[in-house]
Structure 1
Amino acid sequence: MAANGPSRSARAPWREAGKETEFRRRALSYAILAPNPHNRQPWLVRLDGDDALTLYCDLDRRLPATDPYDRQIVIGHGTFLELLALAAAEDGYGTEITPFPDGEDMTTLDKRPVARVKFIAGAGEPNPLFAHTLARHTNRQAFEARDVEADALAAVLSSSSVQGVTAGGCGNDALAAHLRNLTWRAHSVEMTTDYTNQESVDLMRIGAKEVAANPDGLFLEGPVFALGKLAGVISREQMADPNSSMSQQGMTMFHDAAMSARAFAWLGNSGTTRASQIAAGRAYMRLVLAAEREGLKVHPWSQSLQEYPEMAGLYREVHDLIGNGQRLQMLVRLGYAKPVIAAPRWPMETHLIA
């Protein structure tokens, strides 16, 4: 690892994906690379017999402040399951996925399984989207001043209209201008509400050493952050204070990113069951892979969809604007940008239940 550079060990799962010899473990080595809220990686897996597995939520990896009903965490299990299925299909295995086989609680997750998966030899057909798995990374940078091509946006929306989920989107028009403003206001609410901002602060890993020790959550790496931490100008205390210079600089950076959005995409469905949240996650996994296929980068900008009291007004506004009578599950900005480094990941073994 270069001095003060990003942690190489924290990205080892990206390099090791696909190297397992047992087919379920090989599929899991890809599934752990799925996008998930705040990079919490809340997945626990028990291998059952020789052709099945059970997926659970690590209940210590939820986001109670910004995700009080665990909706986003369940979506993160959906992305995991979809990437698992796509990876298994590469080896010719079909997957029968049964969400919440022992029942569900819409208020909170508990120790009951999130899904059971049965693998069926010879029933899987590879999907071209899978080829983009290792190149897909959430991109929080400002996007290029270049409109998203209409055909590319249409292709992304078509690929993610699956599992009973409706995908919508817009290019650089009046609706996009409204969404730029709305999503920025929602981001501001989250960052200036003490307890929701503190949730992100607590999950911040500053510098390669912290990232290597806890390869999850949010990460700040590189020489600038290493020196800033050493000098005491970059700290969790500064991040927790919305009036600090560091917080203000962070808000400016994210404002620039928000205003750079030239296209948006969103996913909606009934939202009435946990299975509908799993379906949204599966559709979102396809959305991000299709975006990579089209040369586009994706940044989730879904704060307005969250369900804590301070967000209620913007929640109503965004649903009135683009909900079309459905429960919006994901809202993202799309655009062209330079690639970014992969997010840290815990090793696959840490997700397995003995």
Structure 2
Amino acid sequence: MPTRRKILMTGGASLLLLGSGLGGYVGTRSIARAQEPWQRAGQSFGDPRLDALAYAILAPNPHNRQPWLVRLEAEDSFSLFCDLDKRLPETDPPNRQITIGLGAFLELFRQAAAEKGFRADITPFPDGEPQPVLDDRPVAHVSLVADPATRPDPLFATTLERRSIKEAYAARAIDDQTLSQLLELAGTGNDGSGQSFLTSGESEMVDSLRNLTWRAWQVEYDVPRTHRESVDLMRIGAGEINASPDGIDMSGPMMEAMYLGGIISREKLSEKGSTVYNSGIDMYREILEQTRNYGWLVSAGNSRTDQLMSGMNWVRINQAATKLGLAMHPVSQILQEFPEMADLYREFHARVAVEEPARVQGLFRLGYGPVAPPSPRWPLESRLVDA
């Protein structure tokens, strides 16, 4: 799907007919309530697990589904579960991307705990790895241990500024020195996980990846059921976003006015050939045309534990990019495992010379982008479940 924060200006002229009263009304609409978890992180909740979990819930995750559920146990531990209602059955049938999001959650928890001198002992899938999809078994068991040897992670300071920037980037490449710094800061490939992060700004490779990512985006957009999955998860306007602070937020005064004025709706977003449907195509084409660097995260295998480790590395790459003033945006449509994407999936892996059992777990645009606001989040207490 295209950036959700860019204005669909094709409907802008019609807004002149809506009158100044509506303009005054939409100017009061705010999603600040849905962004409150970003403000609450850093506050004391009276329990070091909760203090660290307040950062963990800010992790990147597919379609902002926030699939984590936490069951506190004893005085110093918890089990992490997947909220099975948050999966993406059309675009992520094996729940691989959802598992990656859960790995990012665990990494931010680990970093936040380390800030307070706690070591997070993480046991992935203590009751076995669920296949072919996730089930109600725990994704991980985590214990906190006070450990004087635990040191803060230098990337943690970026946690509240980390974003996925889904806008067009400046039309300039990242220099080799900065890319080397990115790889060093992220530390991927030096952690014993069997994973590596590669980047390219070489024109032939970038042109090839730009073409592949564009074709893959078109497939997801053109297949009715995969497109509809995204449209159904859109939260259009402050009312919807504050009521359900997950999914794909479409906010801002112009978007609010267009929604209230009937210019944009889920039906029109789903209707092939409609103005807003075609605008999405134009916007995403512009986004990709400005891309001058790509990066991809590779794992040696594709077990559930590999996927969790990929999520841990994913968020570290995002944090490292933030520290260097770089923007990062996952363009992972080509990695989705539904039938219509299979040919492009194989073509992409051949292009980057990754053969089974290895696989690419994440593909990213890298560059220089605008500042973006934080994404909506469910409050921490809503993610806790009873024992």
Give the structure-1-normalised TM-score: 0.97
Matches within 5 A, 1:263-302: 263-302=293-332
Q: 1:132 aligns with which of 125, 141, 158?
A: 158
Shift of 1:153: 1.6
Q: Is the aligned partner of 1:203 residue 2:233?
A: yes
Shift of 1:51: 1.4
C-alpha change, 1:164 and 1:270, in structure 2 (3 Å) is closer
Which range moved further: 321-330 or 134-143?
321-330
Match among 95, 100, 103 for residue 125 of structure 2:
100
2:172 partner letter: R
- Bigger Cα displacement from structure 2, 29-38 vs 219-228: 219-228
After superposition, the C-alpha distances for 1:182-238 in whole angstroms (9 at most, x for unaligned) are 101111110110000000000000001110000000011112111111221100001
Task: State the 1:259 CA deviation.
Answer: 1.3
**What is the deviation of 1:242?**
2.5
Give deviations 1:108-148, integer Å, cap 9, x for gaps: 01000000011110142101100000001111000011211
> Any conservation in 2 of the 1:94–1:121 contact (CA below 8 Å)?
yes
Q: Deviations over 1:11-48 (max 9, x none)?
A: 00001101023211010000000000000000000111
Determine helix, strand or coil for the equivalent of 2:159: helix
Counterparts of 1:184 and 1:276 in 2: how far apart (Å)? 27
- Whichever of the two has the greater Rg, that structure is 2
Contact 2:42 2:51 (C-alpha < 8 Å) held by counterparts: yes
Paired with 1:292 and 1:2, the residues of 2 have a C-alpha distance of 32
- Could you tell me whether the CA contact under 8 Å between 1:191 and 1:242 is conserved in 2? no
Q: Name which of structure 1's ranges 65-74 and 321-330 shifts more when overlaid on structure 2.
A: 321-330
One-letter code aligned to 1:166: S
User: Match for residue 38 of structure 1?
Assistant: 63
Structure 1: 4+ residue segments shifted above 6 A: none
How many equivalent residue pairs?
354
Which of 164, 168, 171 is the equivalent residue of 1:145?
171
1:336 maps onto 2:368 in alignment: yes
Q: In structure 2, list runs of 5 or more residues that go unmatched.
A: 1-24
Instruction: Note the aligned Cα RMSD (angstroms).
Output: 1.3
* Identity between Structure 1 and Structure 2 (%): 46
CA distance, structure 2, for counterparts of residue 323 and residue 133 of structure 1: 33
* Structure 1 runs not aligned, ≥5 long: none
Q: SS state of the match for residue 135, structure 1?
A: coil
2:86 and 2:167 map into 1 onto residues whose CA distance is 26
Normalising to structure 2: TM-score of the pair?
A: 0.89
Matched position secondary structure for 1:281: helix
Residue identity opposite 2:173 in structure 1 = D
Contact 2:130 2:137 in 1 (8 A): no
Distance 1:256 1:80 in 2: 31
Amino acid at match of 1:61: K
With 273-282 and 161-170 compared, the bigger mean Cα shift is at 161-170
Matched, 1:52 2:82: no
Residue 217 and residue 4 in structure 1: after superposition, are their counterparts in 2 closer, same or farther (change >3 A)?
A: farther
Q: Secondary structure at the match of 2:72?
A: strand
Is residue 64 of structure 1 aligned with residue 89 of structure 2?
yes
1:134 alignment partner, SS class:
coil
